[in-house]
Structure 1
Amino acid sequence: MKILIADDDPQLVRALRITLTAHGYEVVAAPDGAAAIALAAQTHPDVVLLDLGMPKLDGVQVIEALRGWTAAPILVVSGRTGSADKVEALDAGADDYVTKPFQIDELLARLRALGRRSAAASAEPVVRFGDVTVDLTSKSVERAGARVHLTPTEWRMLEFLARNPGSLVTRQTLLKEIWGSEQVADSGYLRLYMSQLRKKLEADPAHPAHLLTEQGMGYRLVV
């Protein structure tokens, strides 16, 4: 798997190149936002590791540019810890967010998850987690071989999460996908529908293993 690292910290890039290469990844690197876009177009990476605070073009501008032509997973690796920065990057099209400093084991785990998501997106449109099978083509859900009835809103929420397995999906994104406007106020609707999905699909709804809440940010489907 080819990884593009876009970061203006040469020491971090050097350390990541050594570590990722040792784990079998091919690494290319860009020192600024403009170079990252050009290198992505030239090399077509499988995953992009992206800092937000880069010269020439910042990370959010790079994400928006990349999303114009590629669906390659984007993992933001940034020192910005505020929830507003995270939400802005995720809503621009990033798939996940790790704050600096980070543990290399966590970074590798996130990369593996994004790799699985990329593989799932290119495979047949069936997503499985636990004893649940979600068929995105027939719009059907089975649990332990038995058909599960979902309301239209429950299905739209599950479908969007299933099309982005392993990725953090913000509340704003789900509100826009389900109700058609990111300006819709979340008055507990998302929590309600997520609770209903967990009751229908999780072995222990009170301690979910797959339909996870990212506090203050959104939801993630772990497959």
Structure 2
Amino acid sequence: MNPLALIAEDDKDIADILRAYLEREGFRTVQVADGRTALDVHLALRPDIVLLDITMPLVDGWEVLSEVRRRGGTPVIVITALDQDLDKLQALRVGADDYVIKPFNPVEVVARVKAVLRRAGGLGASGVLRVGPVEVDTTSHIVRVNGHEVALTLTEFRLLTHMARNPTQVFTRGDLVDACMPGSDALDRTVDSHVSKLRRKLDQAGVPDMPEGVRGVGYRLTSRA
């Protein structure tokens, strides 16, 4: 089954253009015009990628992005008229995979969609991320190592999913708090504790030294491409 793209955009003309170009490249699409519906559809259909406007009615794109990231690892490309560096940095810090400024070239957007899906480690219609022997099913919230299920807490699952989307990227502790523990007052040592427990469980399952600590910076899932 071809990948499903959720287009969350209240400008129908823009949404129609994105839909037409994506469907021409074989994607399945679903369009919504407000943030509340976007969250409902994301929960119900589990799309492979979300194309997200920021200035939408009912629930804005910032809230949608935060909630989608809280739920798991669905890739998100923000498409917006907000062209300030601070807006882009905020989107990337909360967990967006890419940031496109309007007006845009729809051919380029489709190319970026394909690139984000490739970087997501094989995330396709099945909703599965694979990093070496580790398999993260973002739809059923199941983690397997060499076919054997590993029991994780919700926070451990969120940490693993977030890092698995870009396994060689180094994430600061602040990045991980924002993406995986939104709304909490978690401290650095709290992140360290969760990562330590996750590493211990993966080590017991046969995958040592994952996630890796990067001195003075934070964590990455693996240094191997």
When normalised by structure 1's length, the TM-score is 0.58
Shift of 1:119: 3.6
Shift of 1:165: 3.7
Q: Are 2:53 and 2:61, in contact at CA under 8 Å, matched by a contact in 1?
A: yes
The residue that corresponds to 2:219 in the other structure is none
Pairing 1:176–2:182 present: no
1:38-66, CA deviations, whole angstroms, 9 ceiling, x for partnerless residues? 11111110000000111111101001111
Percent of matched pairs sharing the same residue: 31
Shift of 1:175: 6.6
Larger radius of gyration: 1
- Secondary structure at 1:29's aligned position in 2? strand
Q: Are 1:113 and 1:166, in contact at CA under 8 Å, matched by a contact in 2?
A: no
Shift of 1:96: 1.1
C-alpha separation in 2, matches of 1:15 and 1:108: 11
- Secondary structure at 2:172's aligned position in 1? helix
C-alpha separation in 2, matches of 1:101 and 1:166: 31
When normalised by structure 2's length, the TM-score is 0.57
C-alpha separation in 2, matches of 1:96 and 1:50: 10
The residue that corresponds to 1:101 in the other structure is 103
C-alpha separation in 2, matches of 1:124 and 1:14: 32
C-alpha separation in 2, matches of 1:180 and 1:6: 34
Q: Are 1:4 and 1:40, in contact at CA under 8 Å, matched by a contact in 2?
A: yes
Q: Are 1:52 and 1:60, in contact at CA under 8 Å, matched by a contact in 2?
A: yes
2:36 aligns with one of 28, 34, 37: 34
Question: Which ranges of structure 1 fall in alignment gaps of 5 or more residues?
Answer: 127-136, 138-160, 182-220
- Partner AA of 2:80 in structure 1: S
The residue that corresponds to 1:45 in the other structure is 47
- Partner AA of 2:16 in structure 1: R
Runs of 4+ with deviation above 6 angstroms: none
Say how many residue pairs are matched.
150
The residue that corresponds to 1:70 in the other structure is 72
Bigger RCO (CA 8 Å, 6+ sep): 2
- Partner AA of 1:174 in structure 2: T
- Using the TM superposition, name which of 112-121 and 23-32 deviates more: 112-121
Shift of 1:88: 1.4
C-alpha separation in 2, matches of 1:45 and 1:62: 14
Question: Which ranges of structure 2 fall in alignment gaps of 5 or more residues?
Answer: 133-144, 146-161, 177-186, 190-222
1:59 aligns with one of 58, 61, 65: 61
